[in-house]
Structure 1
Amino acid sequence: MLRTNVLMTAPVMAFLMCGTAQAALTVDQVWADLQAAAVSGGMKITVATEVPGDRELTLNGVTIAPEGEPAIATISEVSIVEQEDGSVAFFPGEIKLQITGPANVVINHEELSVSAFEDAGGLGYGIDADSLNVLVNVVDGDSTFDGNFNLISVGGRYTRGLDALGMEMSADQLVYDIKQKDPALGIDGAQISDTADLVMTGELTLPEGIDLMSLQNSAAFAEAVRAGLGVSLEMTQGISKGEMTDNNPMLPMSMVFTAEPGVTSVTMNADEFAVATSVEGMELNLRPPMVPAPVNASTGAFVLGLGMPVVTGEEAGEYGFELKLENLVLDEAAWGMIDPTAVLERGPLDLALDLGGEAKIDMLDLIMAGEADTAPAVMPELQTLDIRALSLKALGAVATGTGAFTFDNSMVAMGGPPLPVGTADVRLEGGNKVIDAMIKLGVITEEDAMGARMMMAMFGKPEGDDVLTSKIEAREGGSIFVNGQQIQ
């Protein structure tokens, strides 16, 4: 059975002042429960003074610290006030996070309030603020980092269902300004960004007997995941605009960008790890070094996704990888620098790759073995590979492919590779046309082109005007055939 009381870290406590009260929503009961929740999470809340009032309590000089250690968060004051609707609201002052090391973090806010309300698994919490401002300053020798992050019109809810903790948060705008220097790494750059309409939802599953504060190393994390720890997050955003500058003397670069609305999701549990991001389109203005004019580019949809099993056991789990870039277009100024006589076709570039299959793996065991510098208890096994889509359209040529393979893993234990068995079908249209254009452009010579055409003729079968197809077969024992001819 999954536990639903909150075991939170000190920064979360400092930011939301949330707790695990299970009784009626009065000031005294909520405050007592907050302190008990801190203790259960290995933390301690102390205050300089408590000033009681009519259905309210003011805490001055609040500090939050791991038991027996220095404070890692302070709040100048917190007013806890009972509301007419039966909830209890928190109104914190300035929040400072005392992070171990060279970093300083200060959280400022306008009209921040946090309210507690009854939920299915205990108390839920809501947050509202006109603005939240996070200042981060890091000085570590010659290395510096300064970040200013602003969230405008913030709202959110934290809930506890019977099986998982839920979180929802939104902001009308996220603006940040970052400056970073590290002479040892050659870093000297700045970034500014302005993103509209952020919405984030998430769910955390905590197994019974697992405290978040106890997850201090890989072994504890792996044990928690095997016991049922899981996280899922999804974030959507509106239009984002920004600038990036790198003042590296060897390769200075600047970029101005606009990104259309997009979605990012992350899932992690004992069954799978998956991350996916997509954006409807982008516009880029690049200023590379030693280039007389800026380079402008635009794209349509961009998609990147990766999914893989975490712990499979005897049954293989599914994995997948997807990459898609639609309608990449360079402006005439950019083309003019590489192809001033317009020899190459300047149509949009399209790229699509969709792979999937099944594998046996224990990612948690691999992590532990890597840290211990030992061999994993169970070696990963690739079972199948499906090339669901492979497509590249560029310079007037189009290449496509599909395929399906299974793998013989009998040699893996002896250090050998998994041997594929299966077929792939490949089609190339316009390859000779691109070679002719490259000759005119002076990129390759006639002799180079002859070698390329011979390779294409060796592995491709003519199917029409400047169209080649290939059937690639991987057979048992490691032999490879192309269009029926053995090449290995």
Structure 2
Amino acid sequence: MSRLAGGTALALCALATSALADVTPQQVWDDLARYMRDFGYTVQADQSSSGDTLTVSNVTLSMEFDSGDGPEGEAGGGTVAVRMDEIVLRDRGDGSVAVEFPASMPIDMAFNDGEDVVELTVDYTHDGLEMVVSGVPDALVYDYTADSLKLEMTDLRVAGDAIGRDMGRLSVDMGQVSGQSTITRTEALTSAAQDMTLGEVRYDLAFDDPEDDTAGEYSGTLTGVEITGTSDIPRGVNLEDMAAAIAAGFGGTARLSHDGSENRFSVTEEGAETTGQTGSDEGAFEFEISGDRMRYSATTRGGRIALAGDEMPLPVTASLGEMEFSMSVPMQPSETPQDASLTLNLNELSVSEVIWNAFDPSGRLPRTPASFVLDIGAQVTPRVSLFDADAIEALDEQPPGELNTVTLRDLTLQAGGGELTGVGAFTFDNDDLETFNGMPRPEGTLELTVSGANALIDNLIAMGLMTDEDAMGARMMLSMFTVPGSEPDTATSTIQINERGHISANGQRIQ
């Protein structure tokens, strides 16, 4: 499906702006067909020329793929096929080529989900879809615009039985599409770059399964959508074998951003309904495969959620000032340690007064927003590729790599008037798996600072959420592992693990 989205999007976009270099209709079609083959599609079509026009008819772009085990031990998987009556490529007389696509381009898909064969047809339609191609054969530029593009599921079958729209529907509308794609080729590599603006995106999804009494409806909008991406595909690689493709030089980047989102949903399960709304002021998603590394990140600002349901004692509403998640990991086997990282930032999490009043009606706790930050760096030595399923399975119970170092760059938790912060760094001896019961032996130091803990405990006692006995145990734990700080109601702790595996807190050995 990712190749369908990435590859077919180029061939199914819209109108041109300028054309400066010399290119022919035949060269443009050859480039499009070759690009789709690079992504793993089989391309079938009939061609006919008349004057300055090339007509490509009975076009089918098809692909087969595997996806685990199907029913009765058969191999699971599926097929994807895009059908177009004809594509017309016309020489514009200035060295550029105009490309016209049919009004309807059905996409047939079939999946074996391990129990049943699911077949569906999604119709790809457009309003004002046009494209102009310029450049030279090994460096073509595709400029396009469209008033709108639409994807709508028109047929759905499960195990051969037709499923009506009252039991399943799907549509996606994209308005005011414009952008540019560039494809360049060398003897070893095909490279593509894309910059697209979708304006507003609207989606509508629903399902109803009377057999297990479940149903759901999802709809929403994204505004100001922009998509950029790049890809490098080595000649002759099989993208079904992603581990080998990456080793051969496959790579790419993708970024999707928006200026605001609004989403609504309703889910029914066993007769109980849950409804909700989510939204954000802006957000972005980024993904990169580069060399031997994979990076993923997602950010949201001005997030909000509202939930209500038959089994919920009260409605839930919350907001989040900012959310950031990022991860970077090595993908290929290595003999030397490689960098890895993980970051999670939840900033200014607030809940409604209704929720506060439910467990703190007297207002004992400060109702300031909560925040959480976790920022970790590491070095690992991977033994296998993350995309090599056979190699991972062959490991059996062995870890897929070695953990060499971990650095806690930032740990911050602020909630209920209390705060916990920490930094630290550890190295790991992978030859010693006995001292810590199968885990590589760590060595290093963790520095922690706590503030407002006693005031928080007092408030929890007053609210009836903590007993005096529980409070006494909590304070004893604090006294065992911390020492008083320089300010009132603060404490610090230094946790150390030495080269022999001994653990100490503030110089006092505890293990």
Q: Normalised by the size of structure 2, how large is the TM-score?
A: 0.83
Q: Which residue of 2 aligns with 1:63?
A: 60
Whether the aligned pair in 2 keeps the contact of 1:38 and 1:45 (CA below 8 Å) is no
Distance 2:419 2:447 in 1: 14
Q: Which residue of 2 aligns with 1:448?
A: 470
Counterpart of 1:390 (choices 404, 407, 411) is 411
1:155 and 2:178 aligned: yes
Whether the aligned pair in 1 keeps the contact of 2:10 and 2:181 (CA below 8 Å) is no
1:402 and 2:423 aligned: yes
Whether the aligned pair in 2 keeps the contact of 1:116 and 1:125 (CA below 8 Å) is yes
Whether the aligned pair in 2 keeps the contact of 1:302 and 1:325 (CA below 8 Å) is yes
Shift of 1:391: 0.4
Distance 2:63 2:337 in 1: 42
Whether the aligned pair in 1 keeps the contact of 2:134 and 2:141 (CA below 8 Å) is yes
Mean Cα deviation higher: 336-345 or 191-200:
336-345
**1:179–1:36: structure 2 CA closer, same or farther, 3 Å change rule?**
closer
1:309 and 2:318 aligned: no
Residue deviations 1:113-170 (CA, integer Å, cap 9, x gap): 1222215843232232111101135443699652110110111222124663212211
Residue deviations 1:248-289 (CA, integer Å, cap 9, x gap): 237632221220112211111342111011122212222144
Q: Which residue of 1 aligns with 2:219?
A: 192
The within-5 A match list for 1:149-298 is: 149-161=172-184, 164-181=191-208, 187-210=214-237, 214-216=238-240, 220-249=241-270, 252-291=273-312, 293-298=314-319
- Indicate the RMSD between aligned Cα atoms, in angstroms: 3.3
Mean Cα deviation higher: 270-279 or 376-385:
376-385
Distance 2:383 2:286 in 1: 22
Residue deviations 1:50-91 (CA, integer Å, cap 9, x gap): 5x5552244444333469x99822113322222244211211
Q: Which residue of 2 aligns with 1:43?
A: 42
Residue 123 of structure 1 aligns with an amino acid whose one-letter code is L
List runs of 5+ in structure 2 lacking aligned partners.
15-20, 65-77, 112-118
Distance 2:144 2:434 in 1: 54
Shift of 1:315: 2.4
1:355 and 2:376 aligned: yes
Distance 1:231 1:15 in 2: 20
Shift of 1:100: 2.5
Mean Cα deviation higher: 247-256 or 339-348:
247-256
Q: Which residue of 2 aligns with 1:470?
A: 493
Residue 27 of structure 1 aligns with an amino acid whose one-letter code is P
1:481 and 2:501 aligned: no
Distance 1:406 1:71 in 2: 48
**1:399–1:90: structure 2 CA closer, same or farther, 3 Å change rule?**
same
Whether the aligned pair in 1 keeps the contact of 2:333 and 2:384 (CA below 8 Å) is no
List runs of 5+ in structure 1 lacking aligned partners.
1-5, 18-22
Whether the aligned pair in 2 keeps the contact of 1:191 and 1:245 (CA below 8 Å) is yes
Distance 1:77 1:200 in 2: 28
Q: Which residue of 2 aligns with 1:460?
A: 482
Whether the aligned pair in 2 keeps the contact of 1:350 and 1:393 (CA below 8 Å) is yes
Same amino acid, percent of matched pairs:
28
1:75 and 2:84 aligned: yes
Q: Which residue of 1 aligns with 2:440?
A: 418
Whether the aligned pair in 2 keeps the contact of 1:10 and 1:73 (CA below 8 Å) is no
Shift of 1:327: 1.1
1:331 and 2:352 aligned: yes
Distance 2:301 2:475 in 1: 38
SS state of the match for residue 109, structure 2?
A: coil
**1:15–1:270: structure 2 CA closer, same or farther, 3 Å change rule?**
same
Residue deviations 1:221-255 (CA, integer Å, cap 9, x gap): 11111111112112221111111222123763222
Residue 204 of structure 2 aligns with an amino acid whose one-letter code is D
SS state of the match for residue 300, structure 1?
A: strand
Shift of 1:408: 1.0
**1:451–1:183: structure 2 CA closer, same or farther, 3 Å change rule?**
farther
SS state of the match for residue 499, structure 2?
A: coil
Whether the aligned pair in 2 keeps the contact of 1:366 and 1:376 (CA below 8 Å) is no
Shift of 1:208: 3.4
Greater strand fraction, Structure 1 or Structure 2: 2
Q: Normalised by the size of structure 1, how large is the TM-score?
A: 0.86
Shift of 1:291: 4.4
**1:480–1:56: structure 2 CA closer, same or farther, 3 Å change rule?**
same
Residue 83 of structure 2 aligns with an amino acid whose one-letter code is T
**1:259–1:223: structure 2 CA closer, same or farther, 3 Å change rule?**
same
Mean Cα deviation higher: 231-240 or 136-145:
136-145
Q: Which residue of 1 aligns with 2:71?
A: none
